[in-house]
Amino acid sequence: MPIHKVEICGVDTSTLPVLTNERMRELFPLVHGGDKRAREEFIRGNLRLVLSVIQRFAGRGENADDLFQVGCIGLMKALDNFDVTQNVRFSTYAVPMIIGEIRRYLRDNNAIRVSRSLRDTAYKALQAREKLTAKTGKEPTMTELAAAMELPREEVVFALEAIQDPVSLFEPVMGEGGDAVCVMDQVKDEKESDAAWLEGIALKEAMNRLTERERKILRMRFFEGRTQIEVASEVGISQAQVSRLEKNALQHLRKYV
């Protein structure tokens, strides 16, 4: 199901309202006081924030309705834990909460299995990170997180990395003002590029057009690193003949490649 569709979970996204910061400040005390109408207005007024977050997970084949519902859970958690006394915009606080909720959902539905103990450590770390974020208004560092959990930093890092959801090599990581740059473009092996592969095929075809002796001389000279004198001794000809045959073979290669 496409991420960019107009209707998600029965909600016409084109008609969603957007709350001003002033209106959100007015609603916060009402929401935290238990006013259900104020809570509904606040959540509905921030559904576009959820939509903007799930765009980041486009291209993974996930159902947009499912991601939207999970994102809404993250939005509600952010609203319940948001501290109005902190000088932080609600969207700044909510976005990491929504992303975290979606990532947890994707990890739980991931085909790659992680050991129970490692998963438990990772989930405890995620809960601790949420609490510290709610308390300080900013995401803690790994050192601060490990200290709060009373665990070695390496153990926390390893646990969190183990439950990271796989990223497609074709997932765009940058696409402003031109063609999208994918993960593959950042990690590809330049030595094994398409161009190098085609050059290898062309070289192989060109080598097949040489005589057996010419191929042997070039193989010994350029693939085995032998000197002309060593080649001459093994092939049973003079060094001058090796030099002439090598020169002719290279000229043929340049013509065929």
Residue among 71, 96, 88, 90 nearest 20 (CA): 90
Which runs of consecutive H residues, i.e. helices, occur in 82-136? 90-108, 116-136
Give the pLDDT mean for 154-181: 67
What pLDDT does residue 1 have? Answer: 44
CA distance 56 to 67: 11
Q: Is the pLDDT of residue 59 over 80?
A: no
Q: Is the pLDDT of residue 215 over 60?
A: yes
Which pair of structure tokens corresponds to residue 192?
């094994």
Residue bearing the bigger pLDDT, 176 or 104: 104
Q: How many helices (H) and strands (E) does the chain have?
A: 13, 4
Give the pLDDT mean for 2-13: 62
Residue bearing the bigger pLDDT, 213 or 87: 213
Residue bearing the bigger pLDDT, 184 or 33: 33
Residue bearing the bigger pLDDT, 236 or 197: 236
CA distance 7 to 73: 18
Give the pLDDT mean for 21-40: 90
Question: How does the average pLDDT of the chain come out, rounded?
Answer: 80
The per-residue pLDDT for range 113-167, each reduced to its tens digit, is 666 787 788 888 888 888 888 888 888 898 999 999 999 998 888 888 877 766 6
Give the pLDDT mean for 14-42: 88
pTM over 0.85: no
The per-residue pLDDT for range 80-91, each reduced to its tens digit, is 888 888 778 888
Residue among 33, 71, 78, 29 nearest 52 (CA): 71
Q: Name the β-bridge partners of 8.
A: 11
